[in-house]
Amino acid sequence: MYLHSRSTRQFLSTLCAVSVLLFSVAASSAPPLKTPWMCEQTFPVSQSHHTGSHLGKGAQAWDFALPVGTPIVAPAAGTVRMLRQDSTVFGCDPKFAYDANYIIVDFGDGTEALFLHLQANSSTLSVGDKVEVGDTLGKIGMSGYTCGPHLHFQVQETCDSWWCTSVPATFAEHGDPGAGEELTSANCTQPVESPLDQSPMDDLPLDDSNAASAVATKTPTSKANAADKTTTPTGSADNAAAAIGGNTDLQPAPK
C-alpha cells in the first residue's frame, strides 16, 4: 500500500512538472522575432521586464528609446488584428491612457505583438491586412500615457482587447535584452530608408527610466511624408486597457 501511494505521488509529481513545461512552451510559442525597426539602426532598451511600469499584464514588455518619426517594422509575419492611429493626445498622466495609438500583429498561433505610442496617421495598413517580416507598420509618436518618445513592445496572448497578458519572447539576433543594451537591427528584408520625421517633439526630454540621454542611429535623417490614412479598430474604450507610460506603475484601467 505504501509503495503504491509513493508511486502514485511520483507519477502525479511528474505529470505536474510536464504540464508546467508544456504550458511554458505554449506561453512563449511566438515565432522567432526580428528587431522591430529598420535594418542597421541601433536603439537602446530603456525598460525591460518586471520593473517600473512593466508589471501585471505588461510584465514581459520592453521599452525601446526610439525618437518621434522612427518607422517600426514587422518582426514576424502576421495579420493586423487591431489598429488605432487617430489620436494626437498625450501626457505623463494616467488620464491619457485611452489616447494611445497602437497596432497589433497577430501571429496566428495564439500570440501577437503589440506596438504602443504610434504617431497619428502614420500607418497605411488596415485591420485584416497581411504583413511580412520587415514591412513598415507605422512610426513612433507621442500618444497616450507616455512621458517621452519610445516604443512599448510586447508579445501577448491574443484576447478580445488590445491590452492582453504579455508572454516571454526573444529576438533572433539579441535574445532577451535587458535595460541599457543597444540593439542593432538585422531586419533587413526592406531597403534602408530615412528613419525620422523632423518634429518639435524630437527635442522632448526622455523619462529617466525610459531612455538614454542620447539615442544613436546608423542611418541618416531626412524628411519623410506621413501616411494620411486613418483606420480605427473595432470595439470601444470599454475594452481598452491603459497604455504603458514612461516612469509610471500603470495597470489596466477599469472599465
Q: Do residue 43 and residue 26 come from a single domain?
A: no
Q: Do residue 205 and residue 135 come from a single domain?
A: yes
CATH code for the domain of 148 = 2.70.70.10
Band of pLDDT at residue 147, cut at 50, 70 and 90: very high
pLDDT of amino acid 52:
87
From 13-22, 103-112, 235-244, the region with the lowest mean pLDDT: 235-244
Q: Do residue 197 and residue 209 come from a single domain?
A: yes
Q: Do residue 135 and residue 151 come from a single domain?
A: yes
pLDDT higher than threshold 70 for residue 17: no
Between 5 and 55, residue with greater pLDDT: 55
Mean pLDDT of 196-200: 43
pLDDT of amino acid 190:
57
Q: Do residue 4 and residue 63 come from a single domain?
A: no
Domain count of the fold of the chain: 2
Q: Do residue 193 and residue 93 come from a single domain?
A: yes
pTM, two decimals, is 0.68
Q: Do residue 80 and residue 18 come from a single domain?
A: no
Q: Can you give the chain as a three-state secondary structure string? A: CHHHHHHHHHHHHHHHHHHHHHHHHHHCCCCCECCCECCCCEEEEEECCCECCECHHHCCCEEECCCCCCEEECCCCEEEEEEECCCCCEECCHHHHHHCCEEEEECCCCEEEEEECECCCCCCCCCCCEECCCCEEEEECCCEECCCCCEEEEEEECCCCCCCCECCCCECCCECCCCCCEEECCCCCCCCCCCCCCCHHHHCCCCCCCCCCCCCCCCCCCCCCCCCCCCCCCCCHHHCCCCCCCCCCCCCCCC
Q: Do residue 142 and residue 26 come from a single domain?
A: no
Q: Do residue 20 and residue 146 come from a single domain?
A: no
- 46 in the Ramachandran plot: left (φ > 0), alpha (ψ -120 to 50) or beta? alpha
Band of pLDDT at residue 116, cut at 50, 70 and 90: very high
pLDDT of amino acid 31:
83
Rounded CA gap, 146 and 165, in Å?
A: 20
pLDDT higher than threshold 90 for residue 251: no
Mean pLDDT of 234-251: 39
pLDDT of amino acid 9:
61
Residue 3 structural domain: 1-30
- Antiparallel, parallel or unpaired: β 136-139 and 71-73: antiparallel
Q: Do residue 211 and residue 230 come from a single domain?
A: yes
Quote the mean pLDDT of the chain.
76
Q: Do residue 206 and residue 181 come from a single domain?
A: yes
User: Residue 80, exposed/middle/buried by CB under 10 A (0-12, 13-18, 19+)?
Assistant: buried
Q: Do residue 215 and residue 153 come from a single domain?
A: yes
pLDDT of amino acid 5:
61
